[in-house]
């Protein structure tokens, strides 16, 4: 557990602005909060800097309602995501409840839908438009069932700091990344040049974090191409289809 005051003090010591044992004044604290939040804003736009890449949020799908706002204070109340990993719906009318997948529509897919207000008991696809300050999630066809719950998976970025005393607890690597990268970010404000080893450490910690946060996709082979026992079928003739 650390707080922004401790991280910022270490960053200013790293820069040579403060000596060991000195404390920040009010102006330095205010500047540190603003700089740290700008840094978090950039990190939130980078998938590999987000250590919670697939957080589940649920909401009630209202019969006859097609679009839902996504973000703080929206219908789907969560930190507004730049991108969504997946959306499913749960039918609560059955026991046990069953979760059903939907197809993800990109911009071009949604534009090709000619009857956007078509209705059906269950939706078959979803389309996300990351407008600001609230995104917009659209279901198609418009569901008419009244027993559906929406399931949304999206990355959850680190929350912005409210003040210099904000505490936080993050996975390994982030604490050093905060100190060194904040030092580099604060350097121009103090007309300082960060030491080469500080810049190297800032870059190294970011690379380490992104390597840990990367989730490699599994390569799937069509079952039709596999023979008995899951072995590759080598007798298929691409010219005859036999």
| pLDDT tens-place string over residues 7-55 | 999 999 999 999 999 999 999 999 999 999 999 999 998 889 999 889 9
Per-residue pLDDT of 169-185, as tens digits, reads 989 999 999 999 999 99
Per-residue pLDDT of 177-218, as tens digits, reads 999 999 999 999 999 999 999 999 999 999 999 999 987 766
Range 100-118 average pLDDT: 97
- Report the alpha-carbon distance of residue 134 to residue 81 in Å, rounded: 9
102 occurs within a structural domain: yes
Query: Are 108 and 180 contained in the same domain?
Result: no
Print the domain residue range for 170: 2-16+32-50+163-213
Query: Are 64 and 37 contained in the same domain?
Result: no
Per-residue pLDDT of 126-161, as tens digits, reads 999 999 999 999 999 999 999 999 999 999 988 899
Range 82-86 average pLDDT: 93
pLDDT of residue 230: 53
For residue 78, pLDDT beyond 60: yes
Which of the 8 DSSP states describes residue 104?
A: E
Query: Are 74 and 88 contained in the same domain?
Result: yes
Between 95 and 242, the more confident residue is: 95
pLDDT of residue 1: 77
Q: How many residues does the chain have?
A: 242
Query: Are 61 and 140 contained in the same domain?
Result: yes
228 occurs within a structural domain: no
235 occurs within a structural domain: no
Nearest to 102 by CA among 134, 76, 131, 128: 128
Query: Are 110 and 71 contained in the same domain?
Result: yes
Which of the 8 DSSP states describes residue 45?
A: T
The maximal CA–CA distance of the chain, rounded, in angstroms, is 80
Mean pLDDT, rounded, of the chain: 91
Query: Are 39 and 61 contained in the same domain?
Result: no
pLDDT of residue 239: 55
For 59, phi and psi rounded to 5 degrees?
A: -155, 165
Query: Are 93 and 180 contained in the same domain?
Result: no
DSSP characters over 222-238: -GGGB-GGG-B-----T
- Report the alpha-carbon distance of residue 92 to residue 190 in Å, rounded: 58
Q: Give 60's strand partners.
A: 149
- With a pLDDT cut of 90, the percent of the chain lying above it is 79
- Strand runs labelled E in 92-183: 98-101, 103-105, 119-120, 125-129, 135-140, 142-143, 148-154, 167-168
- Report the alpha-carbon distance of residue 60 to residue 68 in Å, rounded: 10
Range 228-236 average pLDDT: 53
Lowest mean pLDDT among 21-30, 42-51, 104-113, 228-237: 228-237
pTM for the whole thing? 0.76
- Report the alpha-carbon distance of residue 181 to residue 125 in Å, rounded: 41
Specify the number of domains making up the chain: 2
Query: Are 80 and 113 contained in the same domain?
Result: yes
pLDDT of residue 2: 85
């Amino acid at each position: 557990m650390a707080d922004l005051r401790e991280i910022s003090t270490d960053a200013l010591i790293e820069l040579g602005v403060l000596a060991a044992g000195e404390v920040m004044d009010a102006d330095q604290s205010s500047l540190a909060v603003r700089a740290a939040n700008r840094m978090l804003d950039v990190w939130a736009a980078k998938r590999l800097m987000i250590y919670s890449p697939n957080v589940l949020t649920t909401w009630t799908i209202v019969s006859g309602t097609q679009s839902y706002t996504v973000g703080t204070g929206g219908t789907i109340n969560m930190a507004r995501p730049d991108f969504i990993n997946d959306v499913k719906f749960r039918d609560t009318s059955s026991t046990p409840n069953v979760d059903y997948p939907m197809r993800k529509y990109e911009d071009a897919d949604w534009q090709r839908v000619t009857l956007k207000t078509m209705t059906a008991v269950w939706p078959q696809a979803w389309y996300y438009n990351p407008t600001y300050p609230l995104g917009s999630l659209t279901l198609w066809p418009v569901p008419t069932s009244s027993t559906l719950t929406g399931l949304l998976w999206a990355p959850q970025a680190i929350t912005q700091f409210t003040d210099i005393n904000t505490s936080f607890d993050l996975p390994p690597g982030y604490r050093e990344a905060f100190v060194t990268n904040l030092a580099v970010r604060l350097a121009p404000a103090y007309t300082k040049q960060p030491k080469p080893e500080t810049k190297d450490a800032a870059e190294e910690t970011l690379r380490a974090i992104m390597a840990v946060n990367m989730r490699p996709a599994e390569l799937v082979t069509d079952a039709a191409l596999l023979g008995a026992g899951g072995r590759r079928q080598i007798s298929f003739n691409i010219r005859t289809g036999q």
